[in-house]
Amino acid sequence: MKALLLRDLRLAVRAGGGFGLSLAFFLIVTVLVPFAVGPEADTLSRIGPGVLWVGALLATLLSLDRQFALDHEDGALPLIATSPLPLEAVALAKAVAHWLTTGLPLTLAAAPLGILLNLEGASFPWLVLTLALGTPALSVIGTFGAALTVGIKRGGLLLSLLVLPLYVPTLIFGAEAARRGAMGLEVATPLLMLAGITLGALALLPFAAGAVLRINLR
Amino acid sequence: MSIWEYANPKKFIATTAPVIPWAFGGAILCIVVGLIWGFFLTPDADRFGSTVKIIYLHVPSAMIAINGWIMMLVASLIWLIRRHHVSALAAKAAAPVGMVMTLIALWTGAVWGQPMWGTWWAWDPRLTSFLILFLFYLGYVALWEAIPDPDQAADLTSVLCLVGSVFALLSRYAVYFWNQGLHQGATLSMDSEQHIADVFWVPLVVCIAGFILLFVALVLMRTGTEIRLRRLRALERQAQRAAA
Amino acid sequence: MSLRVEGLSVARGGVPVLDGLSFTVEPGQALVLRGPNGAGKTTLLRVLAGLAPPLAGRVEMPPESAAYASHADGIKATLSVRENLRFWADLYARPWAEGVLDDFDLRSLAHRPAGTLSAGQSRRLGLARLGVIGRPILLLDEPTVSLDAASVARFAGWLRERHLASGGLAVIATHVPLGLDAPEFDLSRFRADPMVAGQGSDAAFL
């Protein structure tokens, strides 16, 4: 599993690996929002956490269709499938690699981008905390979606269509916890639900992803 | 005599074909009677005025929308466990019907919401849940359309249906947490008096029966069509192989 | 360590292509699959590799002993030749042996990004994977495509002296004589009857 993880990380940072693409997308979306809603600091700081959550969520989608499609095109996937590593572990390794190259950088970038949206001081720690808790779930759910659509030509759009509804609970609890935390309200429930979704997705979705990979390899 | 005998495509068509016209007839009868009764023969409600009458469309379609998804979930499980083709095709056949029912529920909800809440759309948890359910239907149908191999499509959509069901349930909980909502409580419950009076309740039950029959008729008919399409495909391929 | 196939039927896209296959390959043996295009060579190899389920019959071999190689080698263009091979070694939990670079004449290319290799060089890199992962049963689908004569001879030599000599076995679909002392197996004799739907998924609807 470590071998696959290291290879995917290495591929991501080499030329054409797409690392940084989602970060750039996140930056651009965040910059575009004030143009659309106006420069008033009050408005921006109020919608800031939500905008950053949606921006991060859309940014994770960008690199999802590369998850298995590249290995599928060059024939690496059947060779990986016949290795001692079960496909469930393959899916988990892919999800972890996706999080390390997408979710983690997005989480770290959210704070500086928050300054652009006039976030209040209290918002920053909650935003970063909820993104750190929530983005792993986005990566695992997305990996399942990528495994589902791996054999489909030009499946990128379909992938978004399938994955976005699955993102809804993560988004709601994540953004809600960030919002409540900033306002000093009770946050235990959404935070625990968010953590629960992430842990549940990490525990169960690799099995679903492994199963659909097996179906797609037939 | 096992129930699984009906999972044989030919037996399924032979058994259901005579039922379909009766189900359609019953559906039309119930819906016409229920709607006329409900629209013209019941008094206006105290609180809601005449707008309440849209429940005769709204409530049945919403019930079918949810139960249609549950039926797809059961059919998907049967396909994954027992590999009955009819089951997978029934799930495929039910999806567009459920999707349209979800749209009807959303549309009538908006039409009802306009005079009641003064807005066409409110991010009320029930309406929002249905919007999310609609997205799940959309993804499910799109996945069926995208995969050319029918067995592979059946497998993948079944897994999507399973995973989707878990996330749809989570979304429902999340949406209730996120916004407490304007929607009144459940229209129907075993204790009918608690919610609505008998005068409204009886025609509503007739309408619900009509919608259930309509759903059954449409799903049986569409499943039959899917089976015939698969049979046509199998025959064509056999002919191709014979010619080769 | 032998490969035993009994009464195997395989399907491509739900259509049965081969029916009633039975053969055994013993250690040190190679079996060459013959048959025209569409005979089912690739399908059979994929079933043997466990990538596709058989319609009927049994494939007996020790678990995790087979390696499959087709024209798609899964080579990553931005990784160097050595990095590509080390990945397979790590994934299959095998120790890394530098010698494999010499076996497949890749030593001078070891640091080149795989994307800059020629078609024949890429093919050698793809075949070198077989030397790295050390599986005793090789399932090879047209392994010599785009190799020059010298490379074909080198690969045949590796197959004979390193793989088969050490108790490995191989099932090879090829049109190029590899100079192996291997029996040939003609698949066209096992063509599935087109009028019999077999156990394919179409059968449920006929």
C91–A217 CB contact, under 8 Å: no
* Domain ranges across chain C: 26-52+61-186
Chain B: list its partners (3+ Cβ pairs within 8 Å).
A, C
Classify residue B110: in a domain, yes or no.
yes
Does residue C14 belong to the interface with chain A, where contact is any CB pair within 8 Å? no
The reported pLDDT for the residue numbered B224 is 95
Q: What is the pLDDT of residues B97-143, one digit of tens each?
A: 999 999 999 999 888 888 877 888 888 888 899 999 999 999 999 99
- Percent above pLDDT 70 for chain B: 89
Chain A: list its partners (3+ Cβ pairs within 8 Å).
B, C
Strands C3-12 and C56-60: antiparallel
The reported pLDDT for the residue numbered B191 is 45
The reported pLDDT for the residue numbered C198 is 54
> From edge to edge, which strands make up the β-sheet containing C66-69?
C66-69, C137-141, C169-173, C30-34, C184-186
Q: To 10 degrees, what angle do helices B55-82 and B125-146 make?
A: 40
The reported pLDDT for the residue numbered C172 is 92
Q: What is the pLDDT of residues C160-190, one digit of tens each?
A: 988 999 999 999 998 888 878 788 888 888 8
Structure tokens at C183: 């029996």
Question: How far apart are alpha carbons C79 and C111 in whole angstroms?
Answer: 9
Classify residue B231: in a domain, yes or no.
yes
Q: Where are the beta strands (DSSP E) in chain C?
A: 3-12, 15-25, 30-34, 56-60, 66-69, 137-141, 169-173, 184-186
Question: How far apart are alpha carbons A51 and A167 in whole angstroms?
Answer: 15
Name which residue leads in pLDDT, B164 or A15: B164
- Could you name the CATH architecture of C26-52+61-186? 3-Layer(aba) Sandwich (3.40)
Burial label, B81 (beta-carbon count in 10 A; 0-12, 13-18, 19+)? exposed
Burial label, A196 (beta-carbon count in 10 A; 0-12, 13-18, 19+)? middle
**Band (B193; pLDDT cuts 50, 70, 90):** very low
For residue A105, pLDDT beyond 60: yes
User: b vs e for A74-91, b when ≥16 Cβ sit within 10 Å of the residue's Cβ?
Assistant: ebbbbbbbbbebebbebb
Residues B142-160 have a mean pLDDT of 94
Residues C189-201 have a mean pLDDT of 69
Angstroms from B234 CA to nearest CA on chain C? 5
Question: How far apart are alpha carbons B138 and B102 in whole angstroms?
Answer: 11
- Percent above pLDDT 90 for chain B: 59
Structure tokens at C55: 């319609």
Q: Name the least confident of C124-138, C144-158, C185-199.
A: C185-199
For residue A96, pLDDT beyond 80: yes
H helix or E strand, kind and range, residue B17:
none
Residues C53-74 have a mean pLDDT of 88
The reported pLDDT for the residue numbered B185 is 60
Instruction: Sort out which chain B residues have CB atoms less than 8 A from A199's CB and list them.
Output: none
For residues B180 and B52, the answer to whether their CB atoms sit within 8 Å is: no
Interface test with A, best of C51, C55, C123 (most A CBs within 10 A): C51
For residue B192, pLDDT beyond 60: no
The reported pLDDT for the residue numbered A154 is 80
Cβ pairs A/B, distance under 8 A? 74
**Band (B197; pLDDT cuts 50, 70, 90):** low
Return the sign of the alpha-carbon dihedral for residues C44, C50, C55, C56.
positive
Question: How far apart are alpha carbons B212 and B222 in whole angstroms?
Answer: 15
Classify residue B191: in a domain, yes or no.
no
Question: How far apart are alpha carbons B217 and C1 in whole angstroms?
Answer: 58
For residue B227, pLDDT beyond 90: yes
Classify residue B53: in a domain, yes or no.
yes
Residues A84-98 have a mean pLDDT of 95
Q: What is the pLDDT of residues A151-193, one digit of tens each?
A: 888 888 999 999 999 999 999 999 999 989 888 888 899 999 9
Q: Is C90 helix (H, G, I), strand (E, B) or coil?
A: helix
B238–C14 CB contact, under 8 Å: no
Q: What is the pLDDT of residues B176-191, one digit of tens each?
A: 888 865 566 665 554 4
The reported pLDDT for the residue numbered C4 is 93
B231–C14 CB contact, under 8 Å: no
Classify residue B102: in a domain, yes or no.
yes
Q: Is the pTM of this model over 0.95?
A: no
Does residue B14 belong to the interface with chain C, where contact is any CB pair within 8 Å? no
The reported pLDDT for the residue numbered B186 is 60
Angstroms from A109 CA to nearest CA on chain B? 26
The reported pLDDT for the residue numbered B127 is 87
Q: Compare CB distances from B241 to C15, C203, C205 and report the shortest one's residue.
A: C15
Q: Compare CB distances from A84 to C53, C69, C92 and report the shortest one's residue.
A: C92
Angstroms from A54 CA to nearest CA on chain B? 16
* Domain, as residue range, for A50: 2-217
Under 8 Å CB-to-CB from A185, ≥6 apart: which residues?
A: none
Does residue B231 belong to the interface with chain C, where contact is any CB pair within 8 Å? yes
Question: How far apart are alpha carbons C20 and C77 in whole angstroms?
Answer: 41
Classify residue B9: in a domain, yes or no.
no
C194–B238 CB contact, under 8 Å: yes
Question: How far apart are alpha carbons A126 and B229 in whole angstroms?
Answer: 54
For residues A85 and A1, the answer to whether their CB atoms sit within 8 Å is: yes
**Band (C1; pLDDT cuts 50, 70, 90):** confident
Nearest in space to A174 (alpha carbons), one of A203, A195, A204: A195
Residues C36-45 have a mean pLDDT of 89
Q: Tell me, what amino acid is at C170? A: A
Q: What is the mean pLDDT of chain C?
A: 88
Under 8 Å CB-to-CB from B72, ≥6 apart: which residues?
A: B91, B94, B95, B98, B140, B161
Question: How far apart are alpha carbons A63 and A19 in whole angstroms?
Answer: 9
ipTM for the complex? 0.93
Q: How many domains does chain A have?
A: 1
Angstroms from B216 CA to nearest CA on chain A? 27
For residue A113, pLDDT beyond 80: yes
The reported pLDDT for the residue numbered B187 is 59
For residue B221, pLDDT beyond 60: yes
For residues A78 and A120, the answer to whether their CB atoms sit within 8 Å is: no
Structure tokens at A105: 């950088």
Strands C137-141 and C66-69: parallel
Classify residue B186: in a domain, yes or no.
no
Angstroms from B23 CA to nearest CA on chain C? 25
Q: Name the least confident of A49-53, C67-71, C137-141.
A: C67-71
Q: What is the pLDDT of residues C74-121, one digit of tens each?
A: 899 999 999 999 999 999 999 988 888 998 899 999 999 999 999 999
**Band (B47; pLDDT cuts 50, 70, 90):** low
Q: What is the pLDDT of residues A187-213, one digit of tens each?
A: 899 999 999 999 999 999 999 999 999
Q: How far is CA A40 from CA A54, A196, B204, in A?
A: 20, 36, 50
Classify residue B189: in a domain, yes or no.
no
Name which residue leads in pLDDT, A19 or A46: A46
